[in-house]
Amino acid sequence: DEMLATHLNLSLDARLDVVATAAPELAASAAANAIAEWGRPAGDITHLVVSTNAGSHAPGTDVRLVSLLGLRHDVLRTVLQLNGCASGCAALRLAKDLAENNRGARVLVACVELTITAFRGPDKADSFDALIPQGLFGDGAGAVIVGAEPYVHERPLFEMVSASQYVIPDTEHMLTMQLGSGGIGGTIATGLPRLAAGIVEQCLLDAFGDRLAGSGGVVEWNNLFWAVHPGSSVMLDHIVRALRLAPGKLAASRTVVREYGNMLGATVIFVLDEVRRQREDPQGEGAGHDEGWGVMMGFGPGFTVEAMLLHAAT
């Protein structure tokens, strides 16, 4: 806020320079907390996955994290760029594949977002769709460690059982992102929540229906816990109605979007942490703390639906 107040016409180059410095530091702070909770040295991390929708520098945040965190110089790095709100789910999906296919691998996932490249003042030519991102998005970073076959002293939180990704045909115009002369821009169509609600149940049934179906082949969505990327409170309202969820089922998502806004890829990690907190709190929000199975879900350009079936570790 202070920078924007004193630099009303900050150029794109200047804003990208800010991101080049601030993004690695913010990501390192989140990653250091994740490593500390994990309880093993940073040198035991074998893979690094960085997801961001900010910045356009190389070397980027992934390289800076190697020195900031004291990672091994042969750590295997992957960067996901401009995947929008689905990028956190996509990064976790990639980390799952890396961990399962590289024996002993421990994957650090770091999602970092800064809105300085997108934030700007209003313009007379703006449509309402173009103004939505200006009031919705926020800065943040989240990090987790992903591995398979946990060691005795590791304490898993969620098992990522199965992942899916769907691109909905003829919806490319509904959610767009691009880096232009004024920064990162794009559109979020006002009909997007209604579109997502109309296809979300079929996407989940196609991906996980066989695993979750009860007697008669029916899936009762209220028997699961939910970690949904909260694109907006309106999006959450539509999903609740589409899946016939009890009011408290998306409590974690609502808490995060209310307190932090939409932090793009980092948001789903905040939601997972809030789900964990609420499950551990006997007086916390959300129904049915004893549910073992859950769904993580995010939406991105395409229009893309990322989903993952989770199982809470005991």
- C-beta of residue 219 within 8 angstroms of C-beta of residue 200: no
Provide the residue count of the chain: 314
Tokens read off for 249: 């089922």
User: Residue 165's closest CA among 302, 312, 314?
Assistant: 302
The residues carrying an active-site annotation are 85
| Per-residue buried b or exposed e for 165-186, using 16+ beta carbons within 10 Å of the residue's own CB | bbebeebeebbbbebeeebbbb
User: Residue 250's closest CA among 217, 283, 286?
Assistant: 286
Who's near 265: CB < 8 A, 6+ residues apart?
51, 52, 53, 80, 83, 84, 85, 86, 87, 88, 90, 91, 111, 113
Exposed/middle/buried for residue 67 (C-beta within 10 Å: 0-12, 13-18, 19+): exposed
| Other Cβ atoms within 10 Å of 214 Cβ, number | 9
Query: What is the C-alpha separation between 294 and 296, in angstroms, rounded?
Result: 7
Half-sphere exposure for 33 (CA within 13 Å, toward CB): 12
Tokens read off for 236: 């959450």
| Type and span of the H or E element at 96 | helix 87-101
